[in-house]
Structure 1
């Protein structure tokens, strides 16, 4: 007999009536906590914060000025490894006055009779502007070369030769220079004086005369840089080039100083269609709604080990060796331009698939430079020789340096 039956029998024997038993409940009470409310209000608050950040970012792009870049190669005001601040200071110690300018019109105005004009290859100037600048001086020292400058000045042709050479010419200023380690040599043209000649007749320094202007050309990117100035006779070579007159006007080319396109560059607001801002906000809202809807349903990430690991550097070096072996300058230029466009798009917050025109427009707005030279540089004519490829690579590297300096300046601005 069960315990319940014994209890009922005992109560019946004592004359006590048992209370009626309540019917069992059909549903158990819920123990789940009520769902918190107010989630929609928090999402709306985050949407407003993100929209405010986007608006402030767009305003900063339009209002933030770009400072001058002092990190370029052979910049007389740069103390960096590739700058030329050391040779400029040595020249000043010889009693020479050096005036640094970043405008070709200002350089022309500052050139007095007998002064020396010092410059590197100006890629943003047209041929006529370059020749006008050169002919405005009595003495010109060109510290870097390109196929275009050799053609305009009719001094000779470039070669792949390099090595340690001595002056071995009749120019007295180079008589005590000694040995220099030239990185680039040239084949002198007719009527051009060649100095620092190797066994095959290639010269590291060319001296020519165009009318009343004496022009000296060399590739001093390594010879006169701060990093290598103390090597061999590099310092003596720099003084022989720069300390021959009392006044030196040092023109530092930049993409901002260009005559290739007239008029002011268009602002970001002028280039942006009216429908872009509403579409961005709509996509932002849709993305936040999707995150709020499905964000918590994602499972944990699953890791899987790959059977083979291939380093990116091995692939890069392999492709580079194939391109060099094939002597395919056009293909190498396309690869260099693609890499530059990808890195510029990443630094300027553009899509990785942004076109050359879109990247050039963004760089133009950031650096406040005309678009004509940027279009030609990022997607222009294909180089026909290795020399043109080297010149293109140097110009693209200088462009990336300028954009890096502008982005870094904006991030560090208080």
Structure 2
């Protein structure tokens, strides 16, 4: 009993240790751009640096929490991509913020917060200088951009690569809207490269408070958008389907044919042996296949001769022919010719060989049972 208790305790301890390790790993990795993730794709490093610089970074994992924190005072809204939120919900959050930094901008959020802006491709991984008059970019210096954006007329564009830029900023009445690829400059693995850290701190530290919103599927305010098959189908399709079905039924009735009345027949049908023999004989006669017809006669004769001579079922045709010749006193060559070798080239020859078969069989029976021939 004590052994089983020890085993149970060991299993519980191993399970608890595994769960703790799993939870620690999950906490360290979490999602991409998660402010509490210490993994390569997390952003915990920039959050800790901001806090050391006196910026109060508050993580909001629900839309309600983010709205409440933003309403408390001037704050920067750090906004990753939030596909589960409607345009109205995103605009409501942004209206409460003093500044908005899009760290994972998509076409929708670019067009909402930076007029006429759009995705513009990817950089080749080389360091790029600011090439703009934005003070934050000038102080940060060169960065290693990732995703690029096409700027609208009202945006200040920095870090040019061909016709696109890595940073877009618009300012309206003291409120700024910025778009930058957070994966390439703010993640833990990329923060120390070039001026990535300086630019990240300048964008996220514009206010004493930074509200980092982590989108949650439960925050979605989108109505179910899955349409039924009937809603997706044009209105003329259903009547056409009904018309085609009706036409098919009418064509089936019009072109339908009966192949005669059903006949009830008792099975199995018994066919007399004579009818089978006559049918095969007619087939042989029509094809003039004398050889096969004679083979049928010889096989039947050999079978009967073997029984009459007392030979076993394994006896060959030659053995039967020799035994018949010995019993009747017939020459062996003649007996073999009748039972095996002779080929009927004509109908007359076929009749002659058939008669010889009958005569040889009668001679064997007479020799085997002579009492039947005694008067």
What is the TM-score normalised by the length of structure 1?
0.45
Is the radius of gyration larger for structure 1 or structure 2? 2
Larger RCO: 1 or 2 (CA < 8 Å, sep 6+): 1
TM-score, length of structure 2 as denominator length = 0.49
Structure with more of its chain in helix, by fraction: 2
